[in-house]
Every structure is written in structure tokens, then in C-alpha cells.
Chains A and B, each alone.
Chain A
Amino acid sequence: MTAQTLNIGFAPLTDCASLVVARERGIFAQNGLDVSLRRFVSWAAMRDALGSGVIDAAHMLSPMVVASAARLGPFPGDFTTAFTMNLNGNAITVSNALHEEMRQRAPDLMEELPLTARALKRVIQQRQAEGGAPLTLAHVYPQSMHSYELRFWLAEAGIDPDRDLNLVVVPPSLTVDALSTGHIDGYCVGEPWNSAAVVGGLGRTLITSGEIWSNGPEKVLAVRKSWASDHHDTHLALIASLSEASKWLDDVANRQTAARMIAAPEYVNTAYDEIVSSLTGVGVQTGGHLRLKMPDFNVFHRYAANFPWRSHAKWILSQMVRWGEVPETVDVESVAENAFRPDIYCEAVKALDVACPVSDQKVEGAHQHAWLMETQSQPIACSADRFLDGKPFDPARFSDYVSGFDIRRGEDRLGESDRSQVADLGK
């Protein structure tokens, strides 16, 4: 049998790990796949390459797939995913100067854990009162978990992310530079870019994404819908390979080996030291001054991590509606069904020793602690899915959830072209 040749795009971030492991450990080859990995340094470029067929699959921001299903931006309706590559993995880091300013303005609030943005709000109020310069925070792409997590964290403390400060998009590899030169005051990015600032003594990590939403989806394996139906068996083999790689990767004993693999020049191309703490979860900075053991900083397989929950897709969509990117009239069910395909995932892992949840949705934020999910085969040990604000997200009460946020936007945030595109294609 000749191997199926596949081109897969990836971004040089720690969470591309399962792709690298599947290739380096020969798992793709065992599943009859000949995979070339292509590095992209721009999410828009990766999206266009996937949409136009230059690549077959992509290590993609989960909200990019939801955006496509919600017909927001280019390639409306074209993308789907049947595999979540990882949970958590991002963090918010600020410059030493801003950290110091927060400590001076609100020493009491800086002792919180998880650290909310209340101290930051004091800084903003003080600066507004004194006519000082507004803060500038960065994320990596408008439709990214980084953007929604940063906005969620700010708004939870009463900071309006569109009015009280500047939010800009900065490429991940340039965030540390921008922080050290003072062009930005902080950012929400994936690894290794938080560790790089901490290791380099340039900034402090205030909160990790797992503390904003425990075990939220980060990257997914995105494919074109048309490709998924034309290459069903190849798609299944790809998912089975990544499931196996993710399982290997989730074993703590393998994380250091994995860190060496992905730090290599052809992948993330960074120092082992900058990648290892987030991967092993040992000595992860949070709260601005603590180094904690956070074994769940990156989750690749356990807790049914690879299952594409439609409730995850709906939460992402809820933030798109909240921030005025998608109209309130959006067909929530249809977007979730088109974006996330748990049925394909379950078909792909059927032959493996991997249990599948029996429902494709759950109330997110209903579990404050570890819990056991019953399935038709063995039960799955799951972990918390709580939100920083303590409010659960019931996917059946989508509109109530969105209207329950004090700080949100109407459709006025969108540019003209996006608005007409959404209105046009959203029918």
C-alpha cells in the first residue's frame, strides 16, 4: 500500500506537539500516512493555505473554525474539525513596569489567586484620572482563544477591553521584543512566549488560561469540509495517529523527550529551557510572583481532551456574539454542528482503546473539581471546567448567557466589510 501524502500546516508553538510527536515517532507512517509539516508564522496565511488547498490540514486556533462556520471572514462555511489538539496552554504576561505599578496601586489585590484584573483596573483608573497614557495589550489574532480569554479576564474585573485600553495584534514571536521595548504593556499568548519573558527577566505571568476557563479548547486540527468528505479514511487515519501521539505526550515521563523534539530548529526553534517548564508543568509562573506545579498547563489527551465538544464551539460562538463579531440572530446549532464533528472523532478512535463521551455537549463550568464521566465503555476521568467568574455556560441557554455579561458590544465593533459579509452570507 502506498502511503497517503499529506501537507499539514503548523505554527511554531508548544501546542503543535502532537503533530511533531506523531511524525518523529513514526506514528503517521504506521497509519499509512506520509506527512510533511509546513511552518507558518501568520494565522491568516495558514487559513488561506488551508482554504485554497495548499495544505490538507492545519494546527489551527479553535475560534478560526467556529468563525468560518459562523461565516465570519474569509472561507465562510469551509472549515471543520473533528479533533481538539489541546486544552489550556496560554497565559497573560505583563511587563515588569506594569507589574510594579499594579503592586503599588493595589498591593492587597495582587495577593489573589487566581489573579483577577482588579489591580489592573486600579492602574487604569489612576492613569485616566491623571491623564496618563492608556495601556496597550496584545493578542495574536482577532478570532483566537487568546483574544477571548484576555477580554474575558479584563471584563470580569470591569475593564472594557475596547474602551479602557488599546488591544492590538502582535505576532507571537515578536511579543517579547515589543514588551521589552515598552511598545506593549502585556499580552496573552501561547508558549513558549510567556516563559521566554519570564526566563529573560522581562515580564511576569499574571494568570494562565486554565485559570480563566479550566480545560477550554485551544488548537484544533482543522480541515476543509469538502476534504473531510472526499478523504474520509485518510481523515480517520490522521485522527487515530494524533490520538496515539497525544496519549504518549500526556504521559509525564515523556514530556522532557517531547520538549527536546519540538524545540528543534525545524519545529518551534527555541531554547529547551523556554519550552520545558510549560510542557512538564513544573515551575509555571502565575499570580505575578509564584512558581507553581501545574500539570494541566498543557493537556493533550486526558479528560477526553481530543473530543470536539459542541458546547466548546458554542462557548466560543457566545464570545463572538458578545464582542459584536457575529449577529445575535446566528443559528447556534448549525454553527456548532458544522464547526465541530464529534461523530467523526468517535469513528476514528473506535478501534483504539479510547472511550468516547455519549453526549456531544455539557454545561461548561458545572464542574468545580475532578469528576468521572460515564460512557458506554470505561468511564473517563475528567477535570474541572470552571470559569473565572464562576458562571456556568449552559449551551441550551445561549442568549441568556450572552446577555448576562455587563460588558459586551453590539455589532458596532465590526468593520464595514465584515458586517456586510456577515449579513450577506449569514442567511
Chain B
Amino acid sequence: MATSLASGAGANRGAQVNVNSSDVPLRVLIIDDDPERIKLVEEGLAANAVVHTASRTHGRLLLDMISRIGPDVIIMDCNSPDRDTIESLRLVARSNPKPIVMFVEEEGGDRMQDAIDAGVSAYVIDGLMPRRVRPLIDTAIARFRHMDGLRSELQKTKDDLAARKVIERAKGLLMQHHGMTEDQAFSSMRKMSQQQGKPIKDVASNVITILEMLANKAGELPE
């Protein structure tokens, strides 16, 4: 008997994931040497999925296969030697990590709950029955997308905060060196942003670069 553990190894921006949609088949990649488990997953998914199997594909070939197939979910054994290769996916910015469903031994299965905090997106304690396969995968994908959404929201908030700091600094410099009011400084940058079709944050950092350069130069010369 195995418990199942689903993990998301990173961001999944732009990936086509088909949760709860029966008209588009789910692309599934199974990395496993156990023919019974492969059969079980195939049976459970029936006609709703395209199942690819990688049992003797490792390392670079496995990565090539993933980028060729573009699976919606990867199913693998928790203690497979290929796990480290899959894990390395999330360290490459250009790659597009996938939700991962893992088979784990029953022993310690409940304690693997902690692994959920480590980027895992769903977790089920049950013997894997064919009829449980699809709901399990859907849960894993949904959870993965949810976590990914939270992550990108967090990233966006951070980016916004960073942008605001840059704009504030540029406004300050314009006010100091060009006697503008705060409103004038902001609207002049916004105008430039519209004219150049650049984000206001980029305009602001250009302003900072130029004004600091001029200030340094002025500082070097005796008055």
C-alpha cells in the first residue's frame, strides 16, 4: 500500500493546465519502473489523458522529454534516483516546473505532511485505487496553481514596492535639483513614460542615473 504525495516544484507561469475539463486530455508523465503502478495510473485516467512513460530515461534525456511533452503533471516515486534531476528543474529560471505527484512508502507517510510546507501541493493517505487517480491529480494541479498564484502575487507586491521606492527617489531628486513640486515631478515622469512607452519605474531609474551623474560631475569641479 502506498500513500501519495503531490508536490509542486516551482512556478508554472503560462502553462496550460486543464483542471476539471474533460474535453482537453491531460498530459501525464509517469517516471516509474513499476509496471503495475504504471498500469494502475493508466487505468485510473482512462481516456481522459495522454500518458507518457519514462522508465529508462534519465538525466538529460529525461529533461529533453519533459520539454518535448510539456506534461501537465509528473507522477513519480518519491525515492526514485531521477528525483534529483526533476528537483533541479526549479533552479533553472527558463524552465517551467510542473506539479509532481509522488508515491511514498507508508512508513513515515503521515510525517511527510511537513513536506507540504516544502513546496508540496497535495497530500493523500490512501491505497492508490484507479478511481482515486484522477481526483488526486486534479487536486495536485489545483493546489499547485493556488500556491503559484500566491507566489506571483507576493512577487508582484514586492516589485510594486521596489518600483515605488525608485519613483520616490527620482521625485526627490527632481524636486531638489530642478525646483519642481512633488506633483510636477511625478507628472513629468508620467508624461515621459507615456511618450516613450516605458514603465514609469524605468523612467524614474533613468532620471536617478542622469541626475546622480550630473551631481557627481558638478561635485568634482571647483565652483
Residues of A within 8 A of B (CB): 40-45, 48-49, 51-54, 73-75, 136, 138, 140-142, 166, 168-171, 173-174, 177-178, 183-184, 325, 412-420, 423-424
B149 to nearest A CB, angstroms?
12
- What A residues does B78 contact at CB under 8 A? 45, 48
Judge whether A174 and B59 touch: CB under 8 Å: yes
Residue of A nearest to B13 (CB): A416
B175 touches A (CB below 8 Å): no
Q: With A42-B80, A417-B9 in contact, do A171 and B92 touch (Cβ < 8 Å)?
A: no
Residues of B contacting A: mostly: helix
Whether the pair A42, B154 counts as a contact (CB closer than 8 A) is no
Contact call A169/B88, Cβ cutoff below 8 A? yes
Q: Which of B85, B89, B97 has the most CB of A within 10 A?
A: B85
23 intermolecular pairs with C-beta atoms under 8 Å apart: A42-B84, A43-B84, A51-B114, A51-B115, A52-B115, A73-B118, A74-B119, A75-B114, A138-B60, A140-B84, A141-B84, A171-B58, A171-B81, A174-B59, A178-B58, A178-B60, A183-B60, A183-B61, A184-B60, A415-B92, A417-B10, A420-B154, A420-B155
State in angstroms the CA–CA spacing of A220 and B108 once bound together: 23
Contact B79 A41 (CB under 8 A): yes
**Is A74 touching B118 in the complex (CB atoms < 8 A)?**
yes
Chain A residue numbers with a CB within 8 Å of B89 are 415
Residues of B bordering A, CB below 8 Å: 9-11, 13, 58-61, 63, 78-85, 87-93, 95, 97, 107-108, 111-115, 117-119, 148, 151-152, 154-155, 158
Q: Are A424 and B108 in contact (CB under 8 A)?
A: no
Pick from A48, A178, A414: contact of B112, CB under 8 Å: A48
Residues of A within 8 A of B108 (CB): 49, 52-54
Query: With A and B bound together, what is the CA distance between A52 and B110 in angstroms?
Result: 9
User: Which of chain A's residues has its CB closest to B79's CB?
Assistant: A45
Interface centre among B79, B80, B89 (most CB of A within 10 A): B79
Contact of A173 among B81, B85, B90, B113 (CB under 8 A): B81
**B91 close to A414 (CB less than 8 A):** yes
9 more A-B residue pairs beyond the given contacts A45-B83, A174-B59, with a C-beta to C-beta distance below 8 A:
A42-B83, A45-B79, A51-B115, A54-B107, A54-B112, A168-B88, A184-B60, A412-B93, A414-B91
CB distance from A409 to the nearest CB of B (A): 10
Out of A73, A169, A325, name the residue touching B84 (CB < 8 Å). Answer: A169
- When the two chains form their complex, are residues B85 and A136 in contact, meaning their CB atoms are under 8 A apart? no
> Are B11 and A142 in contact, with the CB atoms below 8 A?
no
Q: Which residues of B contact A43 (CB under 8 A)?
A: 84
Which of B80, B81, B97, B154 has the most CB atoms of chain A within a 10 A radius of its CB? B81
Contact A417 B112, beta carbon cutoff 8 Å: no
Write the nearest CB–CB distance from A13 to chain B, whole angstroms.
13
The 7 tightest CB contacts between A and B, nearest first, are A74-B118, A171-B81, A54-B108, A416-B11, A170-B59, A417-B10, A169-B88
In the bound complex, what is the Cα–Cα distance between A385 and B37 (angstroms)? Answer: 50
Q: In whole angstroms, how far apart are the Cα atoms of A325 and B90 in the complex?
A: 12
Which residues of B are found within 8 Å of A52, using beta-carbon distances? Answer: 108, 111-115
Residues of B within 8 A of A420 (CB): 151, 154-155, 158
Task: Say yes or no: A41 contacts B81, CB within 8 Å.
Answer: yes
A424 B154 Cβ-Cβ under 8 A:
yes
Q: Which residues of A contact B61 (CB under 8 A)?
A: 183
Point out the residues of chain A lying under 8 angstroms from B93, CB to CB. 412-416
Chain A residues within 8 Å of B79, by CB: 40-42, 45
